[in-house]
Structure 1
């Protein structure tokens, strides 16, 4: 069983970037009326190009059964929610080409994430409708999706 934890930049650092407006903006733009929190995600693609897609995912609920994880060896992948609802983020270290022990995070309103290239992660998992996300990732030729199905799933629950 896996218990969710709050999403923090330190806890998520081995897997990717937390995108939020924590702290003071790096600079003020637009006549001083807009704080710019600059360069919050490391977008990393091999070949191809960077694109923005929209995902409209069906909401899930906790407890949640994790039976599959995936990774993208040719590019990072950022999920930017288009609502203020929290969503579930599941990641795992690589262990000889398969996911190791999964970890689960719950986002706070205003947080987005960017998975580093080749990071094992769960699928897009909104917990409320609508499950609308802007996704920034690699667009191009080549095999950029690897899936791993667990023989026995993991149950993820809230603390």
Structure 2
């Protein structure tokens, strides 16, 4: 048996509980580089406890909808940002914390050009591109200690569009 989650568009307002949507919407905060570049300044709160910020490149295999969600994870020692290095939609899954375990998950479809920054301790799905290439820049905590907690659902969810 599977429970269903219907995808919704990724918007800053819908995602605010879980972190920030990284995108260049609206007018830039300033114009730089001899007037040739708009800077959308300081769009995410990076939070790394006792570690340091690191940038890694992930190359994830594309997935299809419907998508079987059987596990979410979180990072108690730091935030984690996923910044696509492509212009394809991708799946963003999050869940609120409910006394140490994930509550009801939500699924968002990120438009081309949208990334996310998960707040420290936010339950989220694995990196889930919906088309190739699945190339992402990931900004997260680099440091000693375990920064990964997984939760496997007894009954998986099916994410549908």
Q: TM-score, normalised by structure 1?
A: 0.99
Q: How many residues align?
A: 158
Query: 1:105 and 2:104 equivalent?
Result: no
Compute the displacement of 1:142 (Å): 1.1
| Matches for 1:1-159 after TM superposition, within 5 Å | 1-158=4-161
Q: Counterparts of 1:83 and 1:148 in 2: how far apart (Å)?
A: 29
Q: Counterparts of 2:92 and 2:23 in 1: how far apart (Å)?
A: 15
Compute the displacement of 1:48 (Å): 1.1
Compute the displacement of 1:53 (Å): 0.1
Q: Counterparts of 2:51 and 2:28 in 1: how far apart (Å)?
A: 32
Tell me the C-alpha RMSD between the 2 structures: 0.4
Q: Counterparts of 1:133 and 1:24 in 2: how far apart (Å)?
A: 25
Structure 2: runs of 5 or more not aligned: none
Q: Counterparts of 2:44 and 2:89 in 1: how far apart (Å)?
A: 19
Deviations 1:56-95 (A, max 9, x none): 0000000000000000000000000000001000000001
Compute the displacement of 1:147 (Å): 0.2
Q: Counterparts of 1:52 and 1:64 in 2: how far apart (Å)?
A: 28
The list of structure 1 runs, each at least 4 consecutive aligned residues, that deviate by more than 2 angstroms after superposition, is none
Q: TM-score, normalised by structure 2?
A: 0.97
